Amino acid sequence: MGRKFGFSFSAKRAVGISAAKGRIARASGIPTTRSGLRNKVGRSAGCVIPLAFAALALIGLATAAVTASA
């Protein structure tokens, strides 16, 4: 790919698609880019993982208690 010398054209920006996607993303809180969505899912999963481990530990303790009493 050759040099652009500081000039590039984007049809999406000229038509206004990029700005509309940005407004939708800010209003809804859901990113429209692949990397933004991946980051949001990763942050959400980071919050859920400790809760999942705690729930599994409680289920294991409850199972052990039921098995020991039987």
Q: In this predicted structure, what is the pLDDT of residue 27?
A: 93
Q: In this predicted structure, what is the pLDDT of residue 2?
A: 64
Its pTM stands at 0.46
Can you tell me the mean pLDDT for 49-65? 87
With 70 as the cut, is the pLDDT of residue 62 above it? yes
- Residues 5-50 have pLDDT tens digits of 777 788 888 899 889 989 999 998 888 888 988 888 888 777 777 7
Local structure of residue 29 (DSSP, 8 states): S
